[in-house]
């Protein structure tokens, strides 16, 4: 029994990322120094109705055993109504949990991010490390983390990443429509992909297959193109975006501003009424950074704006995106291309090879404005419908923190 206990202590010490430097310095397990460190504590929020509805079983059968072996204490709460996760994180004490973990889809983590940003002490709360176990339909952030960690996007792999992970900066994008502001960690969708995402909600019991079924229906039967305009900020790529808390006082509770838009002469036209679809962007509209606003238009088949690499398990949309590079990636196809080009794009997104397909374009930017011509067009932020008539978005580099495998481990494996 003593040998079993010794083995358990050794495993706990080795897998705990807080002991990385000490473990790296020894040449034998016999040389390990068993200091007494408190067990890490995770708050686990399980959404039982996310995706196909297997989140509880996923946690109990796949995730909980990994946490036990990794010496992670857990406090588990089952969500029982809409916005429950948001309500919980608006009240949790800070500094108690090493990670707040969502077991569900991207919508579950979306609630957590909104809840943290609603707090009076948001500037401290948003630095609370968060994590995700894939239990929904899309699981975009979970698969982005798995991709960065060179792991499979399965729940047990996600549990390993959380057990072995450390906090890693994550960009957050402020998105506003003139009435309210929401905070995005994943994506913004418009045109055909927004219709697919929202139109497939009734098929959520199919899991990730729901998107394939909905896309085929949309491609064959629905409207072929979407009129509108997109303005994006073009800057010198040699200049790296500043990190939010290097540019702003970390003790200030003033909400993140959209300074690339606000102020005299900043940003693109202030409203869709000032910029009819076939008019050019005024030359005077420049950014405070010295960059210029460029226009994309005027008809689109698909517009997918990504903060991370994956929108879903089979959607490697922005291969060059990073968690904390300070940019969004606008991947789009304009309306001049036939449906077959859109089909070829969608058949290649699982591997990221769509970037080489005909008609697929990408721009990298810190800020953009989207103005659909039709008020009935759906727009989505992290899979949630948001109202128009327009959306303005600005990236705040490294605002939040996500649990991911340490960068030193990626380097050692490469």
Asked if residue 199 and residue 143 are part of one domain, the reply reads: no
Residue 18 lies in a domain: no
Q: Is the pLDDT of residue 285 over 70?
A: no
- Quick one: 90 and 50 in the same domain? yes
| 377 and 261 within one domain | yes
3-state helix, strand, coil in the chain (%, to 5): 35, 25, 40
Average pLDDT over residues 354-358: 97
Contact 379, 141 (CB under 8 A): no
Same domain? 111 vs 58:
yes
* 38 vs 253: which has the higher pLDDT: 253
More confident residue, 166 or 212: 166
- Cis amide bond preceding 266, omega within 30: no
- The domain boundary, picked from 132, 164, 196, lies at 164
| Residues 152 and 72 reside in one and the same domain | yes
Asked whether residue 279 is domain-assigned, the answer is yes
Q: Are residues 219 and 346 in the same domain?
A: yes
Q: Where residue 272 falls among pLDDT bands split at 50, 70, 90?
A: very low
Please state the pTM of the whole predicted model: 0.88
Do 149 and 233 share a domain, yes or no?
no
Q: What is the pLDDT of residue 413?
A: 46
C-alpha distances in angstroms, 286 versus 1, 231, 269, 281, 368?
A: 71, 11, 10, 10, 13
DSSP 217: H
Of the candidates 169, 184, 170, 139, the residue with the CA atom closest to the CA atom of residue 157: 139
User: C-alpha 81: how far from its chain's center?
Assistant: 23
| Residue 170 falls inside a structural domain | no
| Among the listed residues 413, 401, 411, the one whose alpha carbon sits nearest the alpha carbon of residue 130 | 401
> Is position 8 within any domain?
no
Q: Tell me, yes or no, whether 152 and 180 share the same domain.
A: no
> What is the tally of structural domains in the chain?
2
In a domain, 24, yes or no: no
Do both 183 and 293 map to the same domain? yes
Compute the distance between CA of residue 117 and CA of residue 175 in angstroms, rounded to an integer. 13
Per-chain mean pLDDT for the chain: 86
20 within domain boundaries: no
- The CB density around residue 375, as the number of other CB atoms within 10 Å, is 9
Instruction: Give 329-343 pLDDT, tens digit per residue.
Output: 999 999 989 889 988
211 or 323, which is more confident:
323
Please tell me the distance from the alpha carbon of residue 11 to that of residue 408, in angstroms, as a whole number.
20
* CA 20 – CA 73 distance, rounded (Å): 20
Helix intervals (H) in 119-191? 122-125, 140-148, 155-164
Q: Looking at the structure, do residues 246 and 383 belong to the same domain, yes or no? A: yes
pLDDT for the residue 270: 56
pLDDT digits (tens, 9 = 90+) for 385-411: 999 999 999 999 999 999 999 864 554
Residue 15 falls within a domain, yes or no?
Answer: no
> What's the pLDDT at 406?
82
- pLDDT (tens digit, 9 = 90+) per residue, 100-152? 999 999 999 999 999 999 999 999 999 999 999 999 988 999 999 999 999 99
In this structure, the answer to whether residues 191 and 106 fall within a common structural domain is no
Are the C-beta atoms of 113 and 83 separated by less than 8 Å? no
**What is the band of 236 on the pLDDT scale with cuts at 50, 70, 90?**
confident
Q: Would you say residue 273 lies in a domain?
A: yes
What are the C-alpha distances in Å from 98 to residues 128, 301, 405? 8, 43, 15
* Same domain (yes/no): 184, 306: yes
CATH number of the domain enclosing 343? 2.60.200.40
State the sign of the Cα–Cα–Cα–Cα dihedral 72, 75, 81, 86.
negative
Q: With cut-offs at 50, 70 and 90, classify the pLDDT of residue 283.
A: very low
CA neighbor of 200 nearest in space, from 5, 403, 380, 414? 380
Range of the domain at 139: 38-164
pLDDT, tens digit (0-9, with 9 covering 90-100), for 9-39: 555 655 667 665 655 555 555 555 555 678 9
CATH code, domain with 47 = 3.40.50.10330
Report yes or no: 390 and 377 within 8 Å, Cβ to Cβ: no
Q: CB of 309 within 8 A of CB of 318?
A: yes
pLDDT at 204: 59
């Amino acid at each position: 029994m003593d040998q079993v206990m010794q083995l358990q202590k050794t495993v706990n010490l080795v897998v705990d990322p807080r002991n990385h430097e000490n473990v790296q310095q020894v040449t034998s397990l016999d040389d390990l120094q068993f200091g007494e460190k408190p067990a890490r504590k995770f708050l686990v929020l399980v959404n039982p109705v996310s995706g196909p509805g297997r989140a509880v079983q996923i946690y109990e059968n796949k995730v909980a055993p990994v946490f036990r072996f990794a010496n992670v204490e857990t406090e588990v709460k089952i969500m029982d109504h809409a916005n429950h996760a948001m309500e919980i994180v608006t009240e949790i004490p800070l500094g108690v949990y090493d990670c707040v973990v969502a077991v569900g889809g991207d919508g579950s983590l979306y609630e957590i991010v909104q809840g943290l940003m609603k707090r009076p002490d948001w500037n401290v709360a948003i630095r609370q490390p968060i994590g995700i176990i894939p239990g929904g339909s899309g699981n975009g952030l979970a698969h982005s983390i798995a991709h960065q960690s060179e792991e499979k996007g399965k729940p047990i792999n996600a549990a390993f990443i959380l057990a072995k992970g450390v906090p890693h900066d994550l960009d957050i994008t402020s998105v506003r429509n003139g009435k309210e502001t929401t905070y995005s960690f994943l994506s913004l969708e418009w045109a055909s992909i927004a219709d697919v995402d929202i139109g497939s909600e009734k098929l959520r019991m199919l899991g990730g297959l729901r998107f394939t079924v909905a896309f085929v229906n949309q491609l064959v039967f629905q409207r072929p193109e979407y009129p509108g305009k997109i303005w994006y900020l073009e800057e010198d790529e040699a200049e790296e975006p500043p990190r939010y808390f290097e540019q702003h006082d970390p003790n200030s509770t003033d909400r993140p501003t959209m300074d690339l838009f606000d102020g005299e002469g900043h940003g693109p036209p202030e409203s869709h009424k000032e910029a009819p679809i076939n008019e050019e962007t005024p030359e005077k509209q420049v950014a405070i950074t010295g960059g210029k606003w460029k226009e994309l238009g005027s008809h689109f088949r698909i517009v997918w704006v990504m903060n991370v690499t994956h929108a879903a398990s089979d959607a490697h949309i922005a291969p060059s995106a990073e968690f904390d590079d300070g940019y969004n990636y606008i991947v789009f196809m304009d309306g001049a291309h036939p449906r077959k080009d859109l089909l070829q794009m969608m058949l290649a997104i699982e591997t990221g090879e769509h970037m080489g397909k005909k008609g697929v374009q990408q721009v990298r930017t810190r800020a953009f404005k989207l103005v659909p011509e039709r008020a009935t067009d759906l727009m989505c932020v992290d899979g949630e419908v948001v109202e128009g008539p327009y959306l303005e978005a600005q990236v705040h580099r490294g605002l939040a923190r996500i649990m991911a495998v340490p960068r030193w481990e990626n380097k050692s494996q490469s």
